[in-house]
Amino acid sequence: MAASSSLLFTSLLVLLTFADSSVQVLGLGVGINYGQIANNLPSPTRVSYLLRSLNISRVKLYDADPNVLVAFSNTNVDFIIGLGNEYLQNMTDPIKAQNWVQQRVQPYLSRTRITCITVGNEVFKYNDHQQWSNLLPAMQTVYNTLVDLGLDKQVSVTTAHSLDILSVSFPPSAGAFRQDLGEYLHGILNFHAQVKSPVLINAYPYFAYKDNLNEVPLDYVLFQPNQGTMDPFTNLKYDNMLYAQVDAVYSAIKALGHTDIEVRVSETGWPSKGDENEVGATPENAGLYNGNLLKRIEQRQGTPAKPNVPIDIFVFALFNENLKPGPASERNYGLFYPDGTPVYNIGVQSYLPELIYSSGSTTNGFLFCCLLILAMACLIFS
Ligand SMILES: *[C@@H]1O[C@H](CO)[C@@H](O)[C@H](O)[C@H]1NC(C)=O
Ligand SMILES: *[C@@H]1O[C@H](CO)[C@@H](O)[C@H](O)[C@H]1NC(C)=O
């Protein structure tokens, strides 16, 4: 017992010292995707300290995990929460949508800042036409529920697309949506314009690089110095692929008649490891991609077509997720290993407290309070 309380004390001193902010932290405008397809992640309470050490205050979830929402009570972290594709059918039913909002969102709103709900993720990537048809009605029904409950000013509604929705992505000014999605995207864009919510895209220059090794220069996708490419129709110069992808989506939206909808990046990232055929998936490249991206976000850069709109980005992802199916890269997008050590250096200091562990976050909060009181007592009586 004596040994373990002195261990507690030492660890808490570290924690308290850290809270005094003797560690230099960066002010990052970036958001982070907090994916949880893993069985070895730290508790949400510990994660809240990790994010605080990184000064990251925007988090995107793929669900509405109450453990996370509770663990981030009374923090200044903004959350995008998600309704998975499996909910789309039910969310077209106003009663079910209302039940979901009342049970999964409303109870947490007084303490946790939930600013946005993504209804479905990459729905058009899969060939399930029933889902395609359900998407807009589900978005509308969730939105109408928020209106009925007086929450629509606080919480917006959108969905996240993969770049598979484009048939042309280069040059950016020629960006166009796939023909077969026209009837769906028309309605969805009208919805965005009406409720003033952004279009979210999951954009991975890594995929374009990996699939076109001979055509795509690595420096261009990694935000490294390079010759860049010129859009022959606009004469705008692109020095990286991500900005070209974003502007291609702006062009596609414009082609459907909208100039008033913002495009944001709900996911981007680079794997630190992959299978043998996944060329480029290395810690060095991932460190360059994410490190260079952070610098640009800090500079509040816009894309060439929208220079005055600082690009809004959620990096994928916070942790490596060991239970994700698919090629090895899928399990290796994290900035951190589950034990809180960085997978590679992106020039940012981080800290995951060691002692606060348990599976339930309520227990965590309680445990943390006890530890804090114990540490205070130790300080006073030592
Ligand atoms: C944290 O980030 C915010 C903006 O994102 C910035 O205003 C603040 O100064 C940062 N704090 C530290 C300690 O870096
Ligand atoms: C959809 O609603 C049905 C009937 O209420 C329910 O059994 C089912 O679990 C719901 N689906 C999801 C994904 O919540």
Instruction: Sketch the domain layout of the chain as residue ranges.
Output: 26-350
Distance 90 CA to ligand 2 centre (A): 6
* Residue 3 confidence (pLDDT) above 70: no
For residues 48-75, average pLDDT: 97
Beta strand ranges found along the chain (DSSP E): 31-33, 58-60, 78-83, 113-121, 156-162, 166-168, 176-177, 199-202, 229-230, 237-238, 263-268, 313-315
**Paired strand residues for 267:** 202
**What residue's CA is closest to ligand 1, atom 1?**
27
> 47 with 28: CB under 8 angstroms?
no
What tokens were used for 267?
A: 């996911």
For residues 281-306, average pLDDT: 97
**CB of 25 closer than 6 angstroms to any ligand 1 atom:** yes
pLDDT tens string 69-100: 999 999 999 999 999 999 999 999 999 999 99
Is-catalytic flag, 267?
yes
For residues 124-152, average pLDDT: 98
Beta strand ranges found along 42-136 (DSSP E): 58-60, 78-83, 113-121
| Catalytic annotation, pick one of 122, 183, 215, 354 | 122
Q: Which bound ligand lies closest to the C-alpha atom of 25?
A: 1
**21 CA: nearest ligand 1 atom:** 13
| Catalytic annotation, pick one of 267, 298, 321, 330 | 267
pLDDT tens string 221-259: 999 999 999 999 999 999 999 999 999 999 999 999 999
| CA 45 to each of CA 70, 79, 284, 354, 382: distance values in angstroms, whole numbers, following the listed order | 9, 15, 30, 11, 28
pTM, rounded to two decimals: 0.87
**Residue 3 burial by Cβ neighbours in a 10 Å radius (0-12, 13-18, 19+):** exposed
Distance 56 CA to ligand 1 centre (A): 9
pLDDT tens string 153-182: 999 999 999 999 999 999 999 999 999 999
CA gap 294, 347 in Å, rounded = 9
pLDDT tens string 260-277: 999 999 999 999 999 999
CATH tag for 26-350 (out of 3.20.20.80, 3.90.870.10, 3.30.565.10, 3.40.920.10): 3.20.20.80
Residue 20 CB: number of other CB atoms within 10 A?
Answer: 8
Q: Are strands 166-168 and 176-177 parallel, antiparallel or unpaired?
A: antiparallel
